[in-house]
Structure 1
Amino acid sequence: MNAINKAKNATNAFAKNWANFVIKFKWPVLIFTILLATGLASQGKMQFDGDYHVFFSESNPELEAFDALQEKYTKDDNVIVVLAPKNGDIFTKENLMAIEELTAEAWNTPYSSRVDAVTNFQHTSAQGDDLYVDDLSYESVSKTDAEILEIKEKALKEPLLVHRIINETGSVTAINITVKLPGVDSATEIPEVTIATREMITNFKEKHPEFEVYTTGLVPLNTAFFEAAQRDLMLTMVMLLIVIGVTLILTRNIFATIATLFVVLFSIMSAVGFLGLNNIKLTPPSSVFPTMILTLAVADSIHILITFLQKVRKDGMEKKEALVESMRLNFMPVFITSLTTVIGFLTLNFGDVPPFWDLGNIVAFGMTMAFLFSTTTLPALMAIFPIWKKKKSAEAAQEKMGWYTNLGTFVVARPIQLTLISTGIIAILTFLATKNVFNDEFVEYFDNSVQFRTDSDFVNDNLTGFYNVEFSVGSGESGGINNPTYLQKLNAFEDWMEEQPEVVHVNAFSEVARRVNRSMHGDNETYYRVPTNREEAAQYLLLYELSLPFGLDLNNQINVDKSESRVTATLENISSAEMIAFSNRAEQWLKDNAPEPMHAIGVSPTMMFSKLGFRQAESMFNGNIVALILISLVLMIALRNFKLGLLSIIPNVTPVLVGFGFWYLFKGTINTGMVIVFGMTLGIIVDDTVHFMSKFLRARRELGYDARAAIIYAFETVGKALVTTTLVLLAGFIVLSTSSFALNSYMARITVIIILAALIIDFFLLPSLLILISREKSEKTVTRAPQVQTN
Structure 2
Amino acid sequence: MNALKKASNATNAFAKSWANFVIKFKWPVLLITMLLALGLGSQGNMEFDGDYHVFFSKSNPELEAFDALQEKYTKDDNVVLVLSPSNGNVFTKNNLSAIEALTKEAWNTPYSSRVDAITNYQYTRAVGDDLYVDDLSYESSLKTDDDIKKIRQIALKEPLLVNRIINEAGSVTAINITVKLPGVDINEIPGEVTPFVRNMISNFETKHPKIKIHSSGLIPMNTAFFEASMKDLMLTMIMLVIVVITTLILTRNFVSTFATLIVVLFSIISAIGFVGIMGIKLTPPSAVFPTMILTLAVADSIHILVTMLQKMRKEGLNKIDALKEAMRLNFMPVFITSLTTIIGFLTMNFGDVPPFWDLGNITAFGMLMAFLFSTTTLPALMAILPVKSKVKKASDTPIKSSLYTVFGNFVVKQPVRLTIISVLVISGLTYLASKNTFNDEFVNYFDKTVDFRNSTDYISENLTGIYNIEYSVGSGESGGINNPEYLKNLNAFENWLKKQPEVIHVNAFSEIARRVNRSMHGDDTNFYRVPENRDEAAQYLLLYELSLPFGLDLNNQINVDKSETRVTVTTENISSAEMIAFSKRGENWLKNNTPEAMHAIGVSPTLMFSKLGFRQADSMLNGNIVALILISLVLMLALRSFKLGLLSIIPNVTPVLVGFGIWALYKGQINTGMVVVFGMTLGIIVDDTVHFMSKFLRAKRELGYNSKQAVVYAFETVGKALVTTTVVLLAGFTVLSTSSFALNSYMARITLIIIIAALVIDFILLPSLLILTSKKEDKIISNEKVAQVAFDK
TM-score band, normalised by the shorter chain? over 0.9
Contact 2:129/2:522 (8 A) holds in 1: no
State the partner residue of 2:789: none
Alpha-carbon deviations, 1:646-684, whole Å to 9, x = none? Answer: 000000000000000000000011100000000000000
Contact 2:190/2:226 (8 A) holds in 1: no
Q: Which amino acid aligns with 2:434?
A: T
Rounded to whole Å, the distance in 2 between the matches of 1:635 and 1:320 is 30
Deviation at 1:127, TM superposition (A): 1.5
* Secondary structure of 1:674 counterpart: helix
Rounded to whole Å, the distance in 2 between the matches of 1:742 and 1:192 is 27
Deviation at 1:780, TM superposition (A): 3.2
State the partner residue of 1:730: 730
Deviation at 1:397, TM superposition (A): 9.0
Over 3 Å counting, the alpha-carbon distance change for 1:118 and 1:783 in structure 2 is farther
Contact 2:412/2:708 (8 A) holds in 1: yes
Rounded to whole Å, the distance in 1 between the matches of 2:571 and 2:59 is 27
State the partner residue of 2:384: 384
Contact 2:479/2:562 (8 A) holds in 1: yes
State the partner residue of 2:790: none
State the partner residue of 1:789: none
Deviation at 1:579, TM superposition (A): 0.2
* Secondary structure of 1:214 counterpart: strand
Contact 1:704/1:782 (8 A) holds in 2: no
State the partner residue of 1:238: 238
Rounded to whole Å, the distance in 1 between the matches of 2:441 and 2:5 is 56
Alpha-carbon deviations, 1:93-139, whole Å to 9, x = none? Answer: 00000000000000000000000000000000011221100000000
Over 3 Å counting, the alpha-carbon distance change for 1:599 and 1:86 in structure 2 is same
Q: Which runs of 5+ in 2 are unaligned?
A: 786-793
State the partner residue of 2:216: 216
Rounded to whole Å, the distance in 1 between the matches of 2:632 and 2:169 is 63
**1:85-164 → structure 2 map (5 Å cutoff):** 85-164=85-164
Rounded to whole Å, the distance in 1 between the matches of 2:431 and 2:488 is 51
State the partner residue of 1:188: 188
Rounded to whole Å, the distance in 1 between the matches of 2:67 and 2:188 is 21
Rounded to whole Å, the distance in 1 between the matches of 2:118 and 2:784 is 86
Rounded to whole Å, the distance in 2 between the matches of 1:642 and 1:780 is 20
**1:562-711 → structure 2 map (5 Å cutoff):** 562-711=562-711
Rounded to whole Å, the distance in 1 between the matches of 2:496 and 2:520 is 26
Rounded to whole Å, the distance in 1 between the matches of 2:393 and 2:131 is 100
Deviation at 1:3, TM superposition (A): 1.9
Contact 1:50/1:187 (8 A) holds in 2: no
* Secondary structure of 2:559 counterpart: coil
Rounded to whole Å, the distance in 1 between the matches of 2:23 and 2:678 is 38
State the partner residue of 1:15: 15
Contact 1:165/1:173 (8 A) holds in 2: yes
Over 3 Å counting, the alpha-carbon distance change for 1:389 and 1:164 in structure 2 is same
State the partner residue of 1:54: 54
Deviation at 1:253, TM superposition (A): 0.1
Contact 2:34/2:266 (8 A) holds in 1: yes
Deviation at 1:46, TM superposition (A): 1.1
State the partner residue of 1:758: 758
Deviation at 1:400, TM superposition (A): 6.7
Rounded to whole Å, the distance in 2 between the matches of 1:528 and 1:781 is 97
Over 3 Å counting, the alpha-carbon distance change for 1:658 and 1:228 in structure 2 is same
State the partner residue of 2:781: 780
State the partner residue of 1:353: 353
Rounded to whole Å, the distance in 2 between the matches of 1:215 and 1:715 is 57
Q: Which amino acid aligns with 1:222?
A: N
Deviation at 1:778, TM superposition (A): 4.7
Rounded to whole Å, the distance in 2 between the matches of 1:240 and 1:427 is 38
Over 3 Å counting, the alpha-carbon distance change for 1:778 and 1:642 in structure 2 is closer
Contact 2:312/2:391 (8 A) holds in 1: no
State the partner residue of 2:179: 179
* Secondary structure of 2:213 counterpart: strand
State the partner residue of 1:486: 486
* Secondary structure of 1:390 counterpart: coil
Over 3 Å counting, the alpha-carbon distance change for 1:398 and 1:717 in structure 2 is farther
Q: Which amino acid aligns with 2:581?
A: A
TM-score by length of 2: 0.98
* Secondary structure of 1:781 counterpart: helix
Rounded to whole Å, the distance in 2 between the matches of 1:397 and 1:196 is 73
Contact 1:475/1:563 (8 A) holds in 2: yes
**1:275-674 → structure 2 map (5 Å cutoff):** 275-392=275-392, 401-674=401-674
Rounded to whole Å, the distance in 2 between the matches of 1:103 and 1:27 is 68
Contact 1:56/1:353 (8 A) holds in 2: yes
Rounded to whole Å, the distance in 2 between the matches of 1:701 and 1:392 is 28
Over 3 Å counting, the alpha-carbon distance change for 1:400 and 1:125 in structure 2 is farther
Q: Which amino acid aligns with 2:782?
A: T
Alpha-carbon deviations, 1:511-555, whole Å to 9, x = none? Answer: 000000010111111111101111110010000000000000000
Contact 2:309/2:389 (8 A) holds in 1: no
Rounded to whole Å, the distance in 2 between the matches of 1:721 and 1:595 is 69
Over 3 Å counting, the alpha-carbon distance change for 1:780 and 1:535 in structure 2 is same
Contact 1:350/1:622 (8 A) holds in 2: yes
Contact 2:126/2:523 (8 A) holds in 1: yes
State the partner residue of 2:75: 75
TM-score by length of 1: 0.98
Deviation at 1:387, TM superposition (A): 1.6
Rounded to whole Å, the distance in 1 between the matches of 2:728 and 2:404 is 19
Deviates more, 1:201-210 or 1:770-779: 770-779
* Secondary structure of 1:160 counterpart: coil
Q: Which amino acid aligns with 2:273?
A: G
* Secondary structure of 1:603 counterpart: coil
Deviation at 1:2, TM superposition (A): 2.1
Alpha-carbon deviations, 1:621-646, whole Å to 9, x = none? Answer: 00000000000000000000000000
Q: Which amino acid aligns with 2:445?
A: Y
* Secondary structure of 2:308 counterpart: helix
Deviation at 1:396, TM superposition (A): 8.6
Q: Which amino acid aligns with 1:567?
A: V
Q: Which amino acid aligns with 1:537?
A: A
* Secondary structure of 1:125 counterpart: strand
Contact 1:705/1:781 (8 A) holds in 2: no
Q: Which amino acid aligns with 2:343?
A: I
Q: Which amino acid aligns with 1:95?
A: N
State the partner residue of 1:787: none
Contact 2:316/2:391 (8 A) holds in 1: no
Contact 2:314/2:391 (8 A) holds in 1: no
Rounded to whole Å, the distance in 1 between the matches of 2:276 and 2:782 is 57
Over 3 Å counting, the alpha-carbon distance change for 1:616 and 1:783 in structure 2 is farther
Over 3 Å counting, the alpha-carbon distance change for 1:782 and 1:325 in structure 2 is farther
Alpha-carbon deviations, 1:532-585, whole Å to 9, x = none? Answer: 111110010000000000000000000000000000000011100000000000
State the partner residue of 1:45: 45
Aligned residue pairs: how many? 784
* Secondary structure of 1:567 counterpart: strand
Rounded to whole Å, the distance in 1 between the matches of 2:401 and 2:292 is 31
Deviation at 1:190, TM superposition (A): 4.2
Deviation at 1:191, TM superposition (A): 3.0
Contact 1:709/1:783 (8 A) holds in 2: no
State the partner residue of 1:788: none
Rounded to whole Å, the distance in 1 between the matches of 2:637 and 2:380 is 29
Over 3 Å counting, the alpha-carbon distance change for 1:514 and 1:721 in structure 2 is same
* Secondary structure of 2:46 counterpart: coil
Alpha-carbon deviations, 1:328-349, whole Å to 9, x = none? Answer: 0000000000000000000000
Q: Which amino acid aligns with 1:553?
A: D
Alpha-carbon deviations, 1:232-257, whole Å to 9, x = none? Answer: 00000000000000000000000000
State the partner residue of 2:788: none
Q: RMSD between aligned alpha carbons?
A: 1.3
Over 3 Å counting, the alpha-carbon distance change for 1:748 and 1:443 in structure 2 is same
State the partner residue of 1:207: 207
